[in-house]
Amino acid sequence: MSCDLPNTTFAVIDHGSFLPLARALARHGSRVIYHRPEWEKAFPTFNDAVIGDGFPEIEWCDDIWKVKSDVDVFVFPDIYHMGLQAELKQQGYPVWGAQSGMRLEINRQFFLGTLKDLGLDVPPFEVVVGISALRDHLKDRKDIFIKVSKFRGSWETTHWRSWSEDSHRLDLWAVRFGGIRERVKFLCFEKIDTNLEIGCDTFNIDGQWPERVLHGIEKKDCAYLSAVTEKSKMPRELTDVMDAFGPLLKTCDYRASWSMEVRVADSGNFFIDATTRCGLPSTGSQILAMKNLCEVIYHGANGELVQPEYEYQFTAECMVKINVEDGSWGTMQIPDELKDHLMVYDCCLVNGQPWFPSDEKSIEEVGWLVAAADSPVEVAKQMNQLADALPEGCDAAVESLADILREIEEEQESGIKFTNQKLPEPEVVLEKS
């Protein structure tokens, strides 16, 4: 199948987090339409409506149905809109999206049941319904990780330390959930006794995996380091999971990104979370390092797996935060040397300058700083230089790369190979250039 990118129209249906991907799809001259469904509600706000507006390389769109007939490929980089994806595919449109495979991310009990059905290790857990039952369940327990399905905006994974340290939080949670507090379903996981957590960031087309993937190690919401690796040379703890899930994803019409994390312990290898969308982090790495990302998405949406071509062998990403007063919009002037490396999201562009709308919460996270090179040492040096170029009021979590390097050293000592190349000393990423 030929791919004429300058004459291709992509429609990106996003919630704001993958604005950099929409912009990347336009780099070969493709027309890119960007739509964020959140603005459509009874009382719309400017804050919701302006995300993605003002960027010259993409077209902000308030109603995707107005332009549907112009679209060649629909791209869903995030989860949800399962029905819309299925309907568009039925109408004959190529779709890049997880389709029914997104259930693995949004329904934790379904995911855990799937692990069991596939013969994979299942982490010990219990389902607890309601705050009162949760109070009783946690009374004499320590180191419990509490999760819920689907509603991540209401609840992120929470670490329960002990009754003496965290019992006061139960009253806060009861207030937070109000009249539904006894209906909320909590999944309570025992702590997995290990420090080894390895990951893979890639994509899947109708059950097929590419030959090369990103072997990525993450410090959650802070930093990420990856090595381009042949799938055949990835740790068995990861490839066993990929091989088990491939046939299932084929039945889901899965054509989307895929990220996974496996905790390696004496008691088993536990696949803890499926990410059936573009990864945060890892998407910035794919944008910067993969030369043919647009072709991968175009052909993948049409059911054809195109092997990724990586320009660099290693990448790093660091979360970028901005200092803003509560209730105030944030902004910055991005230096020229950061144009390709600072990937901002949830913003609009005014006079060439990104603006981040305020909401009920104060603005903190605004994007990822991304470095790419052919050695881990060069990636660390480049990240230091990029971080030094950040405008005043912005800060990148570069120090977290040091923690990742220490984790990689521990993994390699345990027989889990990350790279043959020399790793920088953890202190290197803390040095000022």
Quick: pLDDT tens for 163-189.
999 999 999 999 999 999 999 999 999
Architecture of domain 9-101 in CATH? 3-Layer(aba) Sandwich (3.40)
- Residue 1, pLDDT > 80, answer no
Question: Is the pLDDT score of 318 beyond 60?
Answer: yes
Write down the architecture of domain 196-430 according to CATH: 2-Layer Sandwich (3.30)
Query: pLDDT (tens digit, 9 = 90+) per residue, 46-83?
Result: 999 999 999 999 999 999 999 999 999 999 999 999 99
- The pTM of the full predicted model, rounded to 2 decimals, is 0.95
Q: Where are the domains positioned within the chain?
A: 9-101, 125-190, 196-430
pLDDT for 61 equals 96
Q: Confirm whether 9-101 and 196-430 share one CATH topology.
A: no
Residues linked to residue 354 through DSSP beta bridges, in sequence order = 349
CB-CB neighbours of 280 under 10 Å: 20
| Averaged pLDDT, 13-24 | 97
| pLDDT cut 90: percent of the chain above it | 86
> Could you report the per-residue pLDDT of 370-423, keeping only the tens digit for each?
999 999 999 999 999 999 999 999 999 999 999 999 999 989 988 999 999 999
